Structure 1
Amino acid sequence: MPQFVSKQCDAGQAADHFSLATTPTKVKVGDSIVLCVDGSKDGYMAHHSLLSTLGTPPSLSMCEWASRTTTSPDPDNPERTRSLMKTRPLQKKHVAALAFAIIAPLASSVATAQTPGVVAPRNPDRAVLPVISGSKVSVPFGSCTVGAVLVPTSIFHRLTPYQRATRWIVLAKHCAPLYATIHVGTAAIGNVVWQSATSDIELVRVSPQPGPSSLYCASHGSAAFCNPIQSYIPRANNQVFMPRAGREARLPVIGWSNAPDGQFCTSGWRTGVRCVWQGFSLTTGIWRPSYEHISSAHASELNSIDNGDSGGPVVTYDKHLIGIVSSGEPNGRSIVYYTPMQQVLHELYSYSLAPADLPTAAGEDNPLSSGGENAGWELAPTDG
């Protein structure tokens, strides 16, 4: 069994620290691997659970420093994971200052960051119903983030209470195969019903949950008769996780737009809300994903996108959806690739985005459309 050691936080430490872990097949008895966990309770428990699983007793060093950590896999070398740790002083209290375990490659004995039900979101509200843009969903091979919540505008899809409460969510196509079941926690919420032929997007049909039932009674000159009426509650709403009063909150999506000239945000369940992105054009020679219809943005901070953020929303400060996250730059730099919302809505019946409030009758002009054509899909209502 390899030995796992902790790196002591030296007084005044501020430099970046990188450490690498190898796969179990390359770890030999006597090898040392640096472990870091943050000073929070969750970080300590993750550290303790990891070492217990590997049969190594946990040990923690104490110092007056806290850690902020993000991780990103190295696609060019899947046998290792790079962990970036930045330290900063804490005042008035001592904190366990070992930062973030970087043992994701030990998949046979320790779950990776995307394994369903193992890594909790930084904001636990992202992993509960109803689903909104920025929510965590579990997929067959890990977990992803919800990008947008849609409804069809055709009247034929709104004839019954069940249909009116049904929602569709947009994910990245690489998140799950066609017909795969999507979960929130242990609850199955729907299945992948459509995938783009060229873009990194797919559609999940989210079934509603039954609500209170009631009796409808009527009389037409004869004995009264009563019919039971079953109501349904949507399990996805057109909201997005964005900051309010210093913390993440569920806020209504205003609409969609193209990327602004200034900075904009991503809202992934792994990295949270990161309003550090600036768009740039992809030129010849720059690495890009294999999917078509990709836009890009870069940020001044390293690792601003992470495993599990795929499918999540790219959004403006004023809560207009810009696109759906596809991937990040493979060497860990702060570059995000995304499918623009204009392309998403073009592929869904080739219509522009309709108003967020329902209902919108077939044939009505679309105020968000330059040509006034009828929209095939629109953002879902902001509440149930």
Structure 2
Amino acid sequence: MTGAGRSRWSRRFIVLSAAFLVAWRLGAVVGIPRRAEVTLALFGFVFHVVFGMAYLLVPSYFGTVLATDRVPAVHLAFSFGGTVLLAGRTLFDLPRFVGVAGAVFWVAGVVAFLAALLWSIREPLFGDETGTSSHRKTHKWVDRRANRFIPISFAYLAVGSYELLARVSALPGLTDGYLPRITHLLAAGFVVLLVFSLGVRLAPRFLGVPAPRVPTVVVLVAGAVGPGLVAFGLGGGPAFVAGAVAESVAFVGFAAVYLSIYLRADKRRVGSEAILVGSMCGVAGVTIGLTMAVGSLFDVALFPLGSIQTHRDLNLLGFLGLVIVGFAVQFFPPSAGRFRGASERATRAVIGALAVGVGVAVVGQVLNEQTIVTLGNVFTLVGAGGYGYVLSRLLVEIGSRRAG
């Protein structure tokens, strides 16, 4: 597949992701069902940008190229259709078969995604090739270790997607089909682990500082073990607590690794602060999760009202939202555009609105004040709209330039 082809499909996934982010935050403002919110957030916003960037980055990180120019197009149709059907089933109380069709579409897209990437990296998968250029030899050790965990994230995606399909079909499930187990496999197992694996390679390149070796390995190992333990132990017990501890170590470690890189950088790019704030949100989110896990052992609540929603928002919008936005605007800097609003100042305003909105909404949840939560959601909607506008305009402009 040509470089232009890879970039084209990555851009389309990312534009759709931005649209789903706006839909998600609009839904939060008007008060759609929580399950529909999670679907728009995870399957819509998060997965589409991760899929798009994975097509672009993963093959190159193994020193190869994507082997097909057809699969991303098919995958995009399946993932978009599956997300819309899954969200619509909850939003409009549609018949059960709509949800089944949505799950089938989604899983079909995942199968295409995994087949395309695994086939593309089949030869260097267990080798030492990292695609690291000769003038970046100081990064190679971390790059090689990070590559080892990309297949593990793919395994989580496969298991979580299978469980999603088994939940609505006659297929035998590996678990009881409890939806939070599935979302943990998909969100923490696939997305977060992939963010860790790609992030410890991207951050040093954007900021020009090598990642510390030992803490990075700790992050990757803990990030690989934790999601499985949490997903299968969810509800209480030693496995749940062990998983929560592992995930806490991973999130705290990632925040520490990124902070180390950030503080040593001579010049920080727009978006780097978003990743830093997002990492802090992730630490807060897993801390709440850890208190819930420990509390389950003693049948006591160790956190104020709204802890589950706060945990979810800090991780989905705070960590994944801000970290993804931060990396996206570094990978595709809006200042390269030639349209109104294509500037670092406007980008920082967008990121600021998202970050402030997350903080205000979380405070409202802790205080159990819906008015404050709504105010925070409005801020995040403004930030999402600005991000969608700036990034979509830039990606469309990039596409037009290359087509010309």
Larger Cα Rg: Structure 1 or Structure 2? Answer: 1
Larger strand percent: 1
- Larger helix fraction of residues: 2
